[in-house]
Chains A and B, each alone.
Chain A
Amino acid sequence: MHAIVDSLAMIGISYVMGFLFYGFYRQFNARVQRRWGPSLWQNFFDNMKFLLKTETLTHGPMFFLGPMIIAAGAITTVLFVPFLKDSDWLQGFSEHGNLILIIYLLVVGPLGNALAVGSSGNPFGVMGVTRGLTRLMGLEVPFFLGLALVMLQHETTSVHAIMAAQDGLAQWNLFTNPIAFIVILLPFIASQNASPFDVVGAPVEVYAGPRVEFGGRLLGLLMTQNMMMTVAKLVLVVDLFMGGAGNVPILILKAFSLFLLTASISLVFPRLKTEQTVDFFWKVPLGLGVLGVIATVWLPWGA
């Protein structure tokens, strides 16, 4: 019973946080560009509109199952990320998972959806999937290396243990292991599909993106899972680098400040091509990561 209520609460919180954060992002973006922008609730309205469409076009069974897999993957991911520290609530099934599992779970859904894109028979959709997988190949290496530095620092892959080790502000990994945070920051933005790494599925790129064939309720489901997944990733970084949160308001505050940081970076850079993205990730963040490894592991004061 506890597990069911807890799971529903986590799904609900991640959804509400998701549409509010995205609503804020659209406002923020508009104000930077000197527009008024839509309301804070606009993403919720958009999502409901899609989910309540009367007609949905499919291209066969696999096309239908793809969005189901990606949504199930998003829910599983949310349930394996602990939302709160030292609490019985909002834990989901995170006791049975670990950081490496979460990183892989983040990819399960998009790969399932890639099958749906393929079965639609639209070559542009598949092109979008290839772009997405290429970007993933670029971002995952520095992202994982940064997280590996944290896992090495605490000698565990358990998110709970890493969170528990950060008692006060001075013990936040953001301050004890700043290199790791800098290394993961830009790949993290890319994994959120945010500018400047958003060539996969960016508004003007829809025709060469994975979502080109989806419409109606299926598109609504894709939007829902995207908002939940965004929150799951934000909470994960809060857990790993900002000491986690004791209660929901603090969680929202920390996640929001992180979101504000990434959004501010996103807003001021022009979009990169896929191959530029990959090349950038393999030069700058990965290069930094390698320096971090040399500094913390290889040199005598490390180890």
Chain B
Amino acid sequence: MSLMIKILFLAVSLSPALTLSTWGESLAWPLFGGIELLFDLNPISAFFLLLLALGAPLVALPMLRGAPDRPAYALYALLLLGMQLLLLAGDFIGFFVGWEIMTWSSYLLLLRSSRTDLEGAQSYILFNLASAFLLLAGILVFHSLTGDFRIQAIDQLGGPEPLALAVLFGLAFLIKVGTLPLHLWVPRAYDQAPDIFSAFLSALMSKMGVYGLILLATLFPEALSGLLGRLLNGPAAGYILAWIGVITSIVATFKAISQEDMKRLLAYSSIAQVGYITTAIGVGSSLAIGGALFQALVHTLVKLLLFITVAGIILQTGRRRFNDLGHLIDRMPISFLAVLIGIIGLAGMPPLPGFAAKYLIFVSLIDARWLLLLAAMLLSSTAAFIYCYKLIYAPFLGHANSPEAKTATEAPWPYLVPQVILMGLLVALGIFPGFGIQFLIDPVLTALGLAPIGAPSWGELATPYGGYDGVVLMTVFGTAFALVTGGFFLLRGRMRRAGSPYDLSYAGEVPTADTPLHYGAGMGRELRRIPLIGWILLHTTTGFLTGLTRQSLAAAGLLGGFYGRNPQTWILLAVLLFALALTLVTLTGGAL
């Protein structure tokens, strides 16, 4: 019976793949008053459905381990249904229904973790409901502008309504992608969710916000340029969005460095990585949207890989803090390789595909002449090396720092199979960035009305600013590595393994098993001495929001001061205001 349920669950997790491969005609379902529910698969939604189709079974596989958790299976199926509904929707009614199903089913899944506390659960549901209500308000504004619920570009651009629409939709989706200062729910939710489900939250659900942002760009002609005009060589409205994205990345990166828990570090790194996507969407050119989509693809693969691997480590050791782990490289070699591939992708190092995504975004920023944004983005992307190193050093290298870490064994196969598949996908995409551009990115760009980037061959990434060849790069590096290693063994002399892990150059002393030698949680602590980073780490977003509340209350108090006990004061004020208004009318020639 339980085997049947597991097989059924696995089949359900394949449903996005099935939808993607068999979807034919568009569906229309008449509702009241001449309004129809439309469902259709366009290239944009197909791209995000592909991410879902890839990720859903890989997350489902580790969930199969042990006795079947039936409520979780049911909620997961509901979540997949909601997300497919959202992606296939051709009008905002279906979109909203899908969005709500996704919000509620993920909330209930989140509650199933024993670690979820009241604060975490409340912040998750409050922020996501706020996002849903902002979306609803935006949909109503949209309806008042176009008289229709279908997702289409708006013709009328004058007046405050398009701006209101952009702000409402923008806020709704920025909450979902976890942009500062609306990200408060993200680290709590990713940290407290069931370990495997965190992978789904970070890799796939944050992409629904990205999908929303790209939809938002399609509502306005010329990718947001129509909204506020242009700045240098890009849209001015996008410039604001791009800075929001970059500041999010910088702050989240430094927060990630200072975390002492693996899952919280990954949560902040998710915020930072999705920040790059926000930036690229702000630039809005063909190169930038291409980079944003590529980054979305890479981030999905990398975060699935890293969260599943970390879930495996937590399962085997029961520890999640950097201080409590160490030297798992011998005991969990496949997990080590998975984290290694994951951080190379996360840091955007060549030859893995993270570099292709970064390259496209950097080039698009140069093309838009937004060099200050480029410098800011580079700051966050270089600082990311530090948390990437922390993520691999603290659990896998150094010295084992707890009894569990000394005896742990490799994660069970339901965790390893998705890891191996994801590693393969990442390496393949790194060698063949042109393949990704040609078959995954270009159809979306064409559907968005942008020029496709194109690829001369599968291995090549080509832009008007130059490109690189992933196959040549991988071959050169691989050959060099083989030759150096081979040559090294040809030299005379022998290698000797150190007698014990305490056989170290330790400033003239001989360390013992009691000497604290693991540098796990302390790493990055000294960064606080750098003024900018110290300032960022000293201030929390909660503090910022509290300050905002205090300022609002103070402003309200100031306003309340006008309504004193003495009626003569406010009669005087009213007269003065009236006189001021009259003066203004006279000065502007009665145009007011």
A and B associate in one complex? yes
Residues of A within 8 A of B (CB): 51-60, 62, 64-65, 68-69, 71-73, 75-76, 79-80, 93, 96-101, 104-105, 107-108, 111, 114-115, 118-124, 126-127, 129-130, 133-134, 136-138, 140-142, 144-145, 148-149, 151-152, 155-158, 161, 207, 212-213, 216-217, 221, 274-275, 278-279, 282, 286, 289-290, 293, 297-298, 303
Residues in A neighbouring B315, C-beta threshold 8 A: none
Residues in B neighbouring A118, C-beta threshold 8 A: 389, 392-393, 396-398
Query: In the complex the two chains form, what is the Cα distance from A123 to B509 in whole Å?
Result: 13
Q: Kindly supply a per-residue 1/0 record for chain B positions 177-220, scoring 1 wherever the CB is within 8 Å of any chain A CB and 0 otherwise.
A: 00000000000000000000000000000000000000000000
Q: Is the CB of A72 within 8 A of B480?
A: yes
Q: Given that A98-B466, A130-B386 are known contacts, is A52 also in contact with B366, CB under 8 Å in the complex?
A: no
The SS class assigned to the A binding surface is helix
Which residue of B396, B483, B527 is within 8 Å of A134 (Cβ)?
B527
Q: Kindly supply a per-residue 1/0 record for chain B positions 522-544, scoring 1 wherever the CB is within 8 Å of any chain A CB and 0 otherwise.
A: 01101101111000000000000
Q: Given that A72-B481, A72-B484, A121-B504 are known contacts, is A297 also in contact with B369, CB under 8 Å in the complex?
A: yes
Residues in A neighbouring B382, C-beta threshold 8 A: 136-137, 140-141
CB-CB nearest in chain A for B394: A118
Q: Given that A118-B397, A141-B379 are known contacts, is A108 also in contact with B372, CB under 8 Å in the complex?
A: no
Q: Kindly supply a per-residue 1/0 record for chain B positions 494-515, scoring 1 wherever the CB is within 8 Å of any chain A CB and 0 otherwise.
A: 1111100101111100000000
Which residue of A122, A275, A286 is within 8 Å of B526 (Cβ)?
A275
Residues in A neighbouring B547, C-beta threshold 8 A: none
B363 within 8 A of A: yes
B32 within 8 A of A: no
Q: Given that A130-B524, A221-B484 are known contacts, is A148 also in contact with B530, CB under 8 Å in the complex?
A: no
The A/B interface has a contact count, at CB < 8 Å, of 223
Residues B374-400 near A (CB distance < 8 A): 374-375, 378-379, 382-383, 385-386, 389, 392-393, 396-399
Please report the total number of B residues contacting A with Cβ < 8 Å: 72
CB distance from A99 to the nearest CB of B (A): 8
Residues in A neighbouring B392, C-beta threshold 8 A: 115, 118
Residues in A neighbouring B330, C-beta threshold 8 A: 60
B350 within 8 A of A: yes
Q: Is the CB of B366 within 8 A of A126?
A: no
Q: Given that A119-B329, A127-B519, A141-B378 are known contacts, is A151 also in contact with B383, CB under 8 Å in the complex?
A: no
Q: Is the CB of A293 within 8 A of B491?
A: no
Q: What would 18 A/B residue contacts be, using CB atoms closer than 8 Å?
A: A54-B493, A60-B497, A69-B481, A71-B480, A100-B363, A101-B468, A105-B350, A111-B389, A114-B393, A118-B396, A118-B397, A123-B518, A130-B389, A137-B379, A137-B382, A137-B383, A141-B378, A145-B375
For A71, A138, A213, which residue has the most chain B Cβ atoms within 10 angstroms?
A71
CB-CB nearest in chain B for A286: B375
Which residue of A96, A108, A121, A141 is within 8 Å of B468 (Cβ)?
A96
Residues in B neighbouring A293, C-beta threshold 8 A: 371-372
Residues of B within 8 A of A (CB): 232, 327, 329-330, 340, 347-350, 355, 359, 362-363, 366, 369, 371-372, 374-375, 378-379, 382-383, 385-386, 389, 392-393, 396-399, 465-469, 472-473, 476-477, 480-481, 483-485, 488, 491-498, 501, 503-507, 517-519, 523-524, 526-527, 529-532
CB distance from A102 to the nearest CB of B (A): 10
Q: Is the CB of B369 within 8 A of A303?
A: yes
Residues in A neighbouring B327, C-beta threshold 8 A: 121
Residues in B neighbouring A212, C-beta threshold 8 A: 505
